[in-house]
Structure 1
Amino acid sequence: MLEVPLDHADPAGPAIEVYAREVVAPGKEDSDLPWLLFLQGGPGHKAIRPGADPGAWLDRALREYRVLLLDQRGTGRSTPANRQTLPADPAEAAAYLRHFRADSIVRDAELLRRRLIGDRPWSVLGQSFGGFCAVTYLSLAPEGLREAFITGGLPSLTAGPDEVYRAAYPRVLAANERYFARYPDDQEIVRRIVRHLRERDVRLPGGERLTARRFQTLGIGLGSSVQFHNLHYLLEEAFIGRDELSDAFLRAVDAAVSYAARPIYALLHEACYCQGTASRWSAHRVRDEFPQFALDGDGPVRFVGEMIYPWFFEEDPALRPLRECAELLAAYEDWPDLYDVDRLAANAVPVAAAVYYDDMYVDRDHSLQTADRIAGLRTWVTNEYAHNGLSADARVLDRLIAMVRGEA
């Protein structure tokens, strides 16, 4: 646990705590191993828990690194940021949360590095949003890095939220097509569920109504090889008889659509793409350009993906108290830059990045444009893995390590 400034530009101001867990292979506890910092996807997700979360990469990393699993500020055992802990005043809460993006996470990491190993650089592994953070690290503090590995997380250096979502919605439609090609009978099940939710007042275990549009957000997992199939197994047990949704289905849906465990994700997801501009609920606005996601007709139902909508803060009890705060964050324009294009063009840190060809969450073309703008970065483009390739197969990290070392 380390105390860090809430605002790194005001080191004498309010402080928060960040938590990081050291993991080392048995028998190597006293070895002088290089450090590898893992930056989790998100935003707003705590780091994996060894032995509890899937992470095929971890065993591979422990063969030669001492791994540090950082609970990024506001998550896990770090000082939490949620409806129970944020300031009651929406303006104060929004001002507080403006310090929870990648730039602050990188500066937290630098304080941790200096505390643990002084001036020695360490390695960084960034998955998804963690990869965004790694690119910010290369922009703000490359002197702290020995090498960088990025999986499914090369962001556009310049695209704003609208550009991001105009590229994202077609990828989500493509993921839907892959899903329903694999499970064609699910199309009728999904239509039946949507009709049922339109006609009836169905309540989730927490007491709030399950609307058709909230059910539609189950598509957020379609970019993961595991959750892709889990959605099918959830749908096949949706109904008890002909006219009632099962308790088991509603319990599982509740767990999938609730943001109780990750409110930062909902509050700051669009802000991750903002540099000098406001998001103004970009995903919500841009969705109007894609009528394929409409729920008011008799056409096929298509799930949405990694999109945050303002009505989340009406329908999710964990988010409802933060509605005004979310509106202020969506209207905020003065987000600082997250990437230094000139510094990245002069990069001297060895970097390797896996770009997943059919990634539903991170646009392939944006990633490749960024790869061309980071000096020395080696890119591996593959359609062998979904977005969760790092956790699914240790060979992903193995290849990235080999690429950095010029062995692949």
Structure 2
Amino acid sequence: MTSYRQPGLVLTDRRFSVPLDHADPGGEQIEIFAREAVACGRSGADLPWLLYLEGGPGFGARRFVGAGGQSWLGRAVQEFRVLLLDQRGTGNSTPANRQTLPLRGTPREQAAYLAHFRADSIVKDCEVIRKRLTGGARWTVLGQSFGGFCATHYLSTAPAGLHTVLITGGLPSLDAGADEVYRAAYPRITRKVEAHYARYPQDVERARRIAAHLLERPAALPGGGLLTAESFQSLGILLGSGEGTHQLHLLLEDAFVPTVDGPALSDAFLENVQAVLSYAGHPLYAVLHEAIYAQGRGPTGWAAERIRAEFPRFDAAKTLAGDEPLLFTGETVHPWHFETDPALRPLRETAAILAERADWPALYDAEQLAANEVPVAAAVYHDDMYVDTEHALRTARTIRGLRTWVTDEFEHDGVRAGGPRVLDRLLALARDEI
């Protein structure tokens, strides 16, 4: 263990060995990294633990610098010892990416390995760590987005380890498969794009011009990727965050520069696009994204791509043949991502095998959730672009005792944009203080 200080915090880096396959505890082990955070002056105090589960899949826990500002962490360390977990395969935990996965062998062997990287394995990791770290005491879990999916699985399978559960933008459907998730998502994405154009009407022509240019001449990105009209549409993922509409507008406003060969997409524009679209830092987000919705109902089969065909307004070529505004897409992963992104290209066969996997186990136990005794509070963001509100509220009605805070004050990133207030509200709800 290594301990050090940042403003207002004492941080301790911890590493844990856990089974790759929890059904074989004596088999291959992988490493899980977690960073403990406690307020200065309280490092020796007997404090309850709060485990933070990041969104994703595929993202390590957020890296904070100190306890100041508007982070939820500053509020949390007022009463908790916080554990920021890098879920398996992410951050400083045993990595899973284009560089390391070939060590597993063939794409089929890589896919078999990655089948152990869903919420069920993550929660089992948490239980191993909890027992080693707390001496068996229950802890509070804060789950953001996919972290909330993990927390819901936790409530389904290991509620005895939980003192309280707080969920922000992460109540999953208990029974919808990937097809249903994306069939609900595309109309939601459409509303977000229309709201963006209502705020920034000048972006209608800008987006059409960029997409038309890319249909004729796909552009090389600085990191070796390829920007096509379809991958350009993926910039709509920004629209799910509070400042995303403004970020997208600023990105589009100066895309072109004059050159001796005519207008071209600027180096600055392409650099900024790459920063948004690259999966280099979180490849599991793409590789396992649809698997998080697999509910024992057969393969996901590139659901986002298949269901998109039901919404022809998202077809860039057809849109540009007429005079409609170009629709951006959102949190959707497509086969062409594994051709245009150099961080994903070596994993395209592995991803295809996972897309055809048919034996994913179900993730949630509705009967157990209906009998829940753990205090649970969830922030549900009205018309959240990433998690369907109706799906979330249906799940909320299933989980016994869960209290919801439905708000349109925040987008999906509310715990980051208004962390102390969001955490205060959820703790008060879970404790029946309001």
Q: TM-score, normalised by structure 1?
A: 0.98
Aligned length in residues: 408
Match of 1:255 in 2: 275
Match of 2:343 in 1: 318
Shift of 1:209: 2.8
Match of 1:290 in 2: 311
Q: Which stretch of structure 1 is more off in the superposition, 195-204 or 44-53?
A: 44-53
Q: Which stretch of structure 1 is more off in the superposition, 119-128 or 223-232?
A: 223-232
The reply to whether residue 78 of structure 1 matches residue 93 of structure 2 is yes
Shift of 1:356: 0.5
3-state DSSP class of the match of 1:304? coil
Summarize the Cα distance change of 1:201–1:348 in structure 2 as closer, same or farther, 3 Å threshold.
Answer: closer
Match of 1:147 in 2: 164
Q: Which stretch of structure 1 is more off in the superposition, 90-99 or 332-341?
A: 332-341
The reply to whether residue 339 of structure 1 matches residue 356 of structure 2 is no
Tell me the alpha carbon deviations over residues 262-289 of structure 1, each in whole angstroms, 9 at most, x when there is no partner.
Answer: 1101011100010112100000000001
Tell me the alpha carbon deviations over residues 271-317 of structure 1, each in whole angstroms, 9 at most, x when there is no partner.
Answer: 00101121000000000010111111323211000000011111111
Shift of 1:4: 0.5
2:136 and 2:47 map into 1 onto residues whose CA distance is: 15
- Kindly provide the amino acid, as one letter, of the partner of residue 429 in structure 2: M
- The 4+ residue runs of structure 1 with deviation greater than 4 A are 52-55
Ranges in structure 2 where 5+ consecutive residues have no aligned partner: 1-14
- Match among 45, 51, 72 for residue 65 of structure 2: 51
- Match among 222, 228, 235 for residue 218 of structure 1: 235
Match of 2:124 in 1: 107
The reply to whether residue 161 of structure 1 matches residue 152 of structure 2 is no
Shift of 1:72: 0.3
Match of 1:35 in 2: 49
Q: Which stretch of structure 1 is more off in the superposition, 375-384 or 69-78?
A: 375-384
- Percent identity at matched positions? 61
- Kindly provide the amino acid, as one letter, of the partner of residue 288 in structure 2: L
CA contact (8 A) 1:150 1:354 kept: yes
Tell me the alpha carbon deviations over residues 126-181 of structure 1, each in whole angstroms, 9 at most, x when there is no partner.
Answer: 00000000000001110000000001000000000000000000000000011111
Q: CA RMSD in A?
A: 1.3
2:226 and 2:288 map into 1 onto residues whose CA distance is: 25
Write out aligned runs for 1:268-283 (5 A).
268-276=288-296, 277-283=298-304
2:227 and 2:70 map into 1 onto residues whose CA distance is: 32
- Kindly provide the amino acid, as one letter, of the partner of residue 41 in structure 1: G
Match of 1:17 in 2: 31
CA contact (8 A) 1:55 1:390 kept: no
1:401 and 1:229 map into 2 onto residues whose CA distance is: 31
The reply to whether residue 382 of structure 1 matches residue 407 of structure 2 is yes
Shift of 1:240: 1.5
1:126 and 1:207 map into 2 onto residues whose CA distance is: 34
CA contact (8 A) 1:48 1:55 kept: no
1:136 and 1:363 map into 2 onto residues whose CA distance is: 18
1:342 and 1:135 map into 2 onto residues whose CA distance is: 13
CA contact (8 A) 1:154 1:371 kept: yes
Shift of 1:198: 1.6
Match of 2:136 in 1: 119
2:300 and 2:114 map into 1 onto residues whose CA distance is: 15
Q: TM-score, normalised by structure 2?
A: 0.92
CA contact (8 A) 2:234 2:330 kept: yes
Shift of 1:52: 8.3
Match of 2:81 in 1: 66
Q: Which stretch of structure 1 is more off in the superposition, 73-82 or 48-57?
A: 48-57
1:97 and 1:55 map into 2 onto residues whose CA distance is: 35
Tell me the alpha carbon deviations over residues 222-249 of structure 1, each in whole angstroms, 9 at most, x when there is no partner.
Answer: 0101222111111112111371211111
1:30 and 1:150 map into 2 onto residues whose CA distance is: 28
1:201 and 1:349 map into 2 onto residues whose CA distance is: 52
Ranges in structure 1 where 5+ consecutive residues have no aligned partner: none
Match of 1:400 in 2: 426
- Kindly provide the amino acid, as one letter, of the partner of residue 104 in structure 1: S
Shift of 1:43: 0.2
Shift of 1:55: 6.4
2:346 and 2:217 map into 1 onto residues whose CA distance is: 26
3-state DSSP class of the match of 2:18? strand
1:270 and 1:395 map into 2 onto residues whose CA distance is: 32
Shift of 1:201: 4.2
